[in-house]
Amino acid sequence: MRTIAEINEKIRKGQAVVVTAEEVIEVVRSKGIERAAREIDVVTTGTFGPMCSSGVFLNLGHSKPRIKLGGGTAYLNGVPAYTGLAAVDVYLGATALPDDDPRNHDHPGDFAYGGGHVIEELVAGKEVHFVGTAYGTDCYPRRRIETTIRLQEINEATLFNPRNAYQNYNVAVNLSDRTIYTYMGVLKPRLGNANYCSAGQLSPLLNDPHYEAIGIGTRIFLGGGIGYIAWWGTQHNPSVPRKDGLPKRPAGTLAVIGDLKGMSPEWLRGVSMWGYGVSLAVGIGVPIPILSEEILRYTAVSDDEIFAPVVDYSRAYPEREPEVLGEVSYAELRSGRIRVMGKEVPTGALSSYAKAGEIAQVLKGWIQRGEFFLTEAVAPIPGEEAGISFKPLDEKGGH
Amino acid sequence: MQVSRRIVLHFPASLTGQPIVYRLARDYGLEFNIIKASVSPEEEGLMVLEVRGDEQGVEAGMKYLSEKGVMIEPFSQRVVLREERCIHCGLCVGLCPVGAFRMEPDTYYIRFEEERCLACGLCIKACPPRAMEVGL
């Protein structure tokens, strides 16, 4: 039908036809698949929600005299970063907490500040307090350093998120008699509310369910700047049950990478999950090149065709029981009420549909203005045929 | 020593039919003013109370309520939205006991209707980007 090189030529000439994954639904309804596939070059997707497996590699630069943080410690605004790397490379994870944070000592804990918030402040250009300690060597004699850093003053700041952009997700409810505080938000007792976390019809991997149009090396919108799909994400599980190709359970994931210096605090936001911990809300937008009618047909998926499992987070989830209370569509979820076990339950979302739509529009604008070109994938993301199984951790006896 | 406290009580659905507040008076000798209340059958109840009594009685009454499964929070006069922090996720929509948040049907942006808010404060810590705060 068309190649990525041909699409890029049209982008260069300002002639590419780009629509969002929301707009494409109406285009396909009115024009039909065949005609729409002839006309549309790219469909843009978006998602913006808490993604805990996120973090940033920082190279802080060498002090005089030098210090080797590897094997020592590094704290940014009081939040510990991982130092098990070369002298001044550290990795600051989104869920890291200050050593003196009370955590859930007084349950439910507040979790006001952590790694995700430091990343937001770095990307906002704010001054961040840095304390490092080391054991000292002949070549790196220094034992302690305390100073401030800013994003633009350090060498590299590479956002590298091992698992983002989940393809579908659970709807969390609470069947117990007490309020519970989870990574899916506060859940009131006896089906008091239901929380979901996907942009549904706008979500990247729900628009390319078999990973045919995107792959490793695909250039994307990441945190307001440019990023790439680096690999498939951790816990990537394409083998879940599907209906019309669409996974009915949490399935594929993406590992993504990009230069933090080009990103924006509007699209990387530190978040606090009451009683659970801290995280980072990440904005991601993936362009889907329309290389075939089949690829376009999948981008035209709408919320009433995508189903998510309802899971009890008071027992089934923590006990790793496979029990699912039912399946509901994203159209039902976004209506504000779903029915679970005969009861009407109000819904809330962790993933911002409005912001996902904004991301798809921003990416569309970049492509239309010739500021963003598509890349060929250099290797595929494993699909159902790869036979990946989702492995549990079962404890072995005798230890 | 006599003390007075303004509190917000969240009743789970299982307790809304029980005479809990009455027992505060009978068993703990507390006086109370109901400032605001919203309780409906089969749903969670919400009550803003001013409780007065001797310090021990107030403490014991609060302990009784917690043991019964009532969530107690201090009463704040007003809760406000810091627009610049809101990421329009909508976690508050399903959580707010009085429906003060809604997702706009066409755009899916979240709107806070302060006139419906009872200032129970549940959203303050539940909001992931902490966009809700006690107003002055």
A308 and A334 inside one domain = yes
A120 is in which domain, residue-wise? 55-158
Least confident of A4-8, A28-32, A36-40, B39-43: B39-43
Is there a contact between B128 and A279 if contact means CB atoms under 8 Å apart?
yes
A223 and A321 inside one domain = yes
Least confident of A318-322, A342-346, B27-31, B128-132: B27-31
3-state secondary structure A121-136: HHHCCCCEEEEEECCC
Q: Which of A30, A107, A139, A177 is catalytic?
A: A139
Is the pLDDT at A333 greater than 70? The verdict is yes
> Per the structure, how many domains does chain A have?
2
CATH number at residue B63: 3.30.70.260
- Please, which residues bridge with residue A277 across strands? A273
What integer is the mean pLDDT of A18-40? 98
Q: How many CB pairs under 8 A join A and B?
A: 101
Q: Which residue among A110, A186, A272 places its CB closest to the CB of B95?
A: A186
pLDDT of residue B40: 61
pLDDT of residue A239: 97
B83 and B69 inside one domain = no
**Which of B8, B4, B7 shows the shortest CA–CA distance to B98?**
B8
Under 8 Å between Cβ of A145 and A63: yes
What integer is the mean pLDDT of A102-108? 96
- Please, which residues bridge with residue A58 across strands? A90, A157
A383 falls within a domain: no
pLDDT of residue A39: 98
Q: Indicate the residue among B38, B57, B74 that finishes a domain.
A: B74
A140 and A276 inside one domain = no
Can you read off the two tokens belonging to residue A273? Answer: 């999950």
| Strand pairing class (A194-196; A343-349) | parallel
**Which of A182, A301, A162 shows the shortest CA–CA distance to A242?**
A301
pLDDT of residue B136: 66
B54 and B85 inside one domain = no
DSSP secondary structure letter of residue A378: S
Interface with chain A: mutation pick from B125, B127, B132, B133, highest number of A CBs within 10 Å = B125
A226 and A370 inside one domain = yes
Residue with tokens 């039902």: A332
What is d(CA A284, CA A264) in angstroms, rounded to the nearest whole number? 12
Chain B: residues touching A (Cβ < 8 Å): 12-14, 44, 69, 71, 87-95, 102-103, 107-110, 122, 125-126, 128-130
Provide the pLDDT confidence category of residue B37 given band limits of 50, 70 and 90. Answer: confident
pLDDT of residue A44: 98
What is d(CA A35, CA A28) in angstroms, rounded to the nearest whole number? 8
What is d(CA A340, CA A194) in angstroms, rounded to the nearest whole number? 9
What is d(CA B51, CA B91) in angstroms, rounded to the nearest whole number? 31
Interface with chain B: mutation pick from A188, A267, A338, A343, highest number of B CBs within 10 Å = A188
Q: Angle B20-28/B55-67 helices, nearest 10 degrees? A: 150
Read off the pLDDT of residues A233-266 as tens digits, 9 standing for 90 and up.
999 999 999 999 999 999 999 999 999 999 999 9
Under 8 Å between Cβ of A246 and A240: no
Q: Indicate the residue among B74, B99, B121 that finishes a domain.
A: B74
pLDDT of residue B115: 86
Provide the pLDDT confidence category of residue B134 given band limits of 50, 70 and 90. Answer: confident
pLDDT of residue B13: 76
Under 8 Å between Cβ of A20 and A80: no
**Which of A310, A163, A324, A307 shows the shortest CA–CA distance to A245?**
A307
pLDDT of residue B76: 67
What integer is the mean pLDDT of B71-99? 90
Q: What residue in B sits closest to A283 (Cα-Cα)? A: B87
End-to-end CA distance of chain B: 29
How many angstroms separate the CA of residue B25 from the nearest CA in chain A?
25
Is there a contact between B12 and A355 if contact means CB atoms under 8 Å apart?
no
Query: In A300-383, where does DSSP find H-type helix?
Result: 330-334, 353-368
Is there a contact between A349 and B128 if contact means CB atoms under 8 Å apart?
no
A164 and A258 inside one domain = yes
Is the pLDDT at A355 greater than 90? The verdict is yes
A394 falls within a domain: no
> Per the structure, how many domains does chain B have?
2
Kindly state the percentage of chain B with pLDDT values over 70.
Answer: 94
Is there a contact between A336 and B103 if contact means CB atoms under 8 Å apart?
yes
CA distances to A267, A323, A333, A355 from B86, in Å? 12, 34, 20, 10
Read off the pLDDT of residues B98-124 as tens digits, 9 standing for 90 and up.
899 999 988 999 999 988 888 888 999
CATH number at residue B111: 3.30.70.20
Least confident of A118-122, A159-163, A267-271, B70-74: B70-74
Dihedral of the alpha carbons of B92, B95, B99, B101, in degrees to the nearest 10 = 0
How many angstroms separate the CA of residue B88 from the nearest CA in chain A?
5
Kindly state the percentage of chain B with pLDDT values over 90.
Answer: 32
Is there a contact between A274 and B126 if contact means CB atoms under 8 Å apart?
yes
Provide the pLDDT confidence category of residue B48 given band limits of 50, 70 and 90. Answer: confident
B63 and B84 inside one domain = no
Is there a contact between A274 and B125 if contact means CB atoms under 8 Å apart?
yes
Under 8 Å between Cβ of A173 and A185: no
Chain B CB contacts of A194 under 8 Å are 94
CB atoms near residue B43 (< 10 Å): 15
Chain A CB contacts of B125 under 8 Å are 108, 110, 272, 274
Chain A CB contacts of B18 under 8 Å are none
Kindly state the percentage of chain A with pLDDT values over 70.
Answer: 100
A299 falls within a domain: yes
Q: What is the maximal distance between C-alpha atoms in chain B?
A: 56
C-alpha dihedral sign at A67, A69, A75, A81: positive
B64 is in which domain, residue-wise? 2-74
Q: How far is CA B33 from the centre of its chain?
A: 15
Name the phi and psi angles at A322, rounded to 5. -80, 0
3-state secondary structure chain B: CEEEEEEEEEECHHHCCCCHHHHHHHHHCCEEEEEEEECCCCCCEEEEEEEEEEHHHHHHHHHHHHHCCCEEEECCCCEEECCCCCCCCCHHHHHCCCCCEEECCCCCCEEECHHHCCCCCHHHHHCCCCCEEECC
Under 8 Å between Cβ of A152 and A125: yes
Under 8 Å between Cβ of B52 and B4: yes
A242 and A362 inside one domain = yes
Provide the pLDDT confidence category of residue A399 given band limits of 50, 70 and 90. Answer: low
Q: Is A139 a catalytic residue?
A: yes
Is the pLDDT at A180 greater than 70? The verdict is yes
Is there a contact between A185 and B128 if contact means CB atoms under 8 Å apart?
yes
B106 and B57 inside one domain = no
Can you read off the two tokens belonging to residue A359? Answer: 């991301």
B87 and B66 inside one domain = no
Is the pLDDT at B41 greater than 60? The verdict is no
Read off the pLDDT of residues A3-25 as tens digits, 9 standing for 90 and up.
999 999 999 999 999 999 999 99
B108 and B56 inside one domain = no
- Provide the mean pLDDT of chain B: 87
How many angstroms separate the CA of residue A24 from the nearest CA in chain B?
16
Residue with tokens 């911002």: A352
Least confident of A38-42, A292-296, A370-374, B49-53: B49-53
Read off the pLDDT of residues A67-85 as tens digits, 9 standing for 90 and up.
999 999 999 999 999 999 9
Is the pLDDT at A398 greater than 80? The verdict is no
Is the pLDDT at A149 greater than 70? The verdict is yes
Interface with chain B: mutation pick from A272, A280, A361, highest number of B CBs within 10 Å = A272
How many angstroms separate the CA of residue A121 from the nearest CA in chain B?
13
Q: Indicate the residue among B31, B54, B74 that finishes a domain.
A: B74
- Provide the mean pLDDT of chain A: 97
DSSP secondary structure letter of residue A26: H
Is the pLDDT at A61 greater than 90? The verdict is yes
How many angstroms separate the CA of residue A289 from the nearest CA in chain B?
26
What is d(CA A334, CA A196) in angstroms, rounded to the nearest whole number? 9
What integer is the mean pLDDT of A270-281? 98
